[in-house]
A and B are shown apart, each in its own frame.
Chain A
Amino acid sequence: MKWRYFRQSLFFGVVRLSALIITIALLGIIAFLLVNGFKAISMDFFTLPPTDSMTKGGIMPAIVGTFYLTVGAIAVSLPLGVVSAIYLTEYAKQGRFIRIMRIGVNCLAGVPSVVFGLFGLGFFVVFLKFGSSILAGSLTLGILVLPTIIGAAEEALKAVPQTFREASLALGVSKWKTISRIVLPSALPGILTGAILGVGRAAGETAPIMFTAAAFFTAILPKSIFDEVMALPYHIYVLATAGTHIEQTRPLQYGTALVLIALVLGIDLIAIVLRSVVRRKKRW
């Protein structure tokens, strides 16, 4: 009896500890960045481009660049991902072909992001001659988050009760109208939540944009989708490894990292709030 009780509390202890470690790790990272990067944060940091060989000034072009790349990635991956998910869940006959497609999508999610970067370089930048540009970077990031969005959209579509589909079809509404007018609106909040989380990931990626979109330095803002941009993750990488003033720019590095992580957490927070609002409204 005692032994069993001991074993149980030991197990619960391990479980608690694991959860604790994760929380501490997250809080630790945030605290570390806050302590080291807070000094760098000022109004100028957000509004000025880097100056004096990137040892002073702000990160405005990188913020703008990351914004464009993120929006571009959504624009690419959301329609494509939702349409794919509709095909997989609503139209395709479940069978071997669909199983292979699903495995393919899951494998895509496991591909290292640097491979996406190389693919983007080879296909979008060189073969399609987009050059290093917002367009090429958005497409590459879009493909990177595609599996996340397909997965989220599939889950959201499957969560729509079958009775809604039956009700609509039984009224003599076509399958496509049933999907577009009944199923999709019901699944939309879930799809958006998944998409936002996926995009949060895209915003923080360095490798996929390194060869496809990111500029080492440019003080001017992009004028078209064929221009290069600075981006937050790549800017950190550059300051921390490739510059000639690595030690001097430490505060800027931490400051940029702080902005990036605040951005990603902010995006995730939007998704979480959206999800909780929808859950409260949901009645089926």
Chain B
Amino acid sequence: MIVRARNVDFYYGAFRALTDVTLDFEKRRVTALIGPSGCGKSTLLRLLNRMNDLIDGTRVEGEILFEGRNIYAPEVDPVEIRQRIGMVFQKPNPFPKSIFDNITFAPKLSGIRDRGEIETLVEGSLRQAVLWDEVKDILGKSAMNLSGGQQQRLCIARALAMKPDVLLMDEPTSALDPISTAKIEELIDSLKKRYTIIIVTHNMQQAARVSEYTGFFYLGKLIEFNATEKIFTNPAMKQTEDYITGRFG
């Protein structure tokens, strides 16, 4: 278990977005978080690398342990946590820089200077994100010229370049066409050999296709957590069954 949430409550001002969530994420597995809009699944995801710190007036209770250490302990630097726990967003968000600079931006700031090392890192990251063959001749071109699907894979490559242990994905394909979506799903499948992946998705088929474990959220509570196969074939809770059979949500 690489990441564990322990009795997590989360508030936006007076509004309680998560209630008593306890959940373990297994190393080098894909865990999907599903549920209707506003159920708190993205909120939980953003808690795992302290991205909710950016929003004023929020409060966390309980513990989130990363390799046994509470990431909300006062002595923990969120910058360090985010270097180990990368994130890919709903909408592809490359920087308005070249493809090459998108990848090298964060590694350079974290102290990698050697030219050779940087080039290896760029190629390695782009290969892992299955983008290398498409962009190897245009590394100096602006990332903004790429298609949406390519931009999203660039964002994945950019996250991988920091050599994280965990990759958080917040509805990574919801802004993409079916072909790009299929590519990202294949990519997730190949990445799980090396990374722990936690993916929030609205698409239940996607959760069923890519994940080993699935957590179903409803109204800020974790209703059910189990192996994906179990959730989709024989859910224990009535609400889970109603959701995955499309009766609400």
Q: Do A and B come from one complex?
A: yes
Which residue in B84, B89, B110, B142 is a CB contact (below 8 Å) of A167? Answer: B89
Q: How far is the CA of A93 from the CA of B56 in the complex (A)?
A: 8
List 14 other contacts, CB 8 Å, given A181-B105, A283-B142.
A164-B93, A167-B155, A169-B82, A170-B49, A170-B82, A170-B86, A170-B87, A171-B82, A171-B83, A171-B106, A172-B82, A172-B86, A172-B106, A174-B79
How many B residues, CB 8 Å from partner? 28
Specify the chain B residue showing the minimal Cβ separation from A161: B93
Query: What does the 1/0 interface line of A87-105 toward B look like (CB < 8 Å)?
Result: 0000001100000000000
**Interface contact A164-B162, CB-CB below 8 Å:** no
Q: Does A166 contact B (CB under 8 A)?
A: yes
**Interface contact A172-B93, CB-CB below 8 Å:** no
Contact partners of B86 in chain A: CB under 8 A: 170-172
Specify the chain A residue showing the minimal Cβ separation from B144: A283
Known: A93-B56, A94-B56, A163-B89. A169 touches B51 (CB 8 A): yes
| Cβ < 8 Å to B, chain A residues 136-195 | 161, 163-174, 177, 181-182, 186
Q: Does A284 contact B (CB under 8 A)?
A: yes
Q: Does B16 contact A (CB under 8 A)?
A: no
Known: A167-B155, A186-B96, A283-B144. A181 touches B89 (CB 8 A): no
**Interface contact B51-A170, CB-CB below 8 Å:** yes
Q: Which A residues fall within an 8 A CB radius of B? A: 93-94, 161, 163-174, 177, 181-182, 186, 283-284
Q: Does B80 contact A (CB under 8 A)?
A: yes
Q: How far is the CA of A177 from the CA of B91 in the complex (A)?
A: 23
Choose among A164, A169, A182 the residue with the greatest number of B CB atoms under 10 Å from its CB: A169
Known: A163-B89, A173-B106, A173-B109. A168 touches B95 (CB 8 A): yes
| Cβ < 8 Å to A, chain B residues 81-118 | 81-84, 86-87, 89, 91, 93-96, 105-106, 109-110
Contact partners of B95 in chain A: CB under 8 A: 164, 167-168, 182
**Interface contact B56-A168, CB-CB below 8 Å:** no
Q: Does B4 contact A (CB under 8 A)?
A: no
Q: How far is the CA of A177 from the CA of B110 in the complex (A)?
A: 11
Q: How far is the CA of A276 from the CA of B158 in the complex (A)?
A: 31
Sample (16) of A-B pairs whose CB atoms are under 8 Å apart: A94-B56, A163-B89, A164-B96, A167-B89, A167-B94, A168-B105, A169-B82, A170-B51, A170-B86, A170-B89, A170-B159, A171-B158, A172-B106, A186-B96, A283-B142, A283-B144
Q: Does B54 contact A (CB under 8 A)?
A: yes
Specify the chain A residue showing the minimal Cβ separation from B94: A167
**Interface contact A172-B110, CB-CB below 8 Å:** yes
Contact partners of B84 in chain A: CB under 8 A: 172
CB distance from A51 to the nearest CB of B (A): 55
Q: How far is the CA of A168 from the CA of B158 in the complex (A)?
A: 10
CB distance from B128 to the nearest CB of A (A): 16
Choose among B54, B106, B155 the residue with the greatest number of A CB atoms under 10 Å from its CB: B106
Contact partners of A186 in chain B: CB under 8 A: 96
Q: How far is the CA of A168 from the CA of B84 in the complex (A)?
A: 14
CB distance from B2 to the nearest CB of A (A): 17
**Interface contact B105-A173, CB-CB below 8 Å:** yes
CB distance from B8 to the nearest CB of A (A): 20
**Interface contact A166-B93, CB-CB below 8 Å:** yes
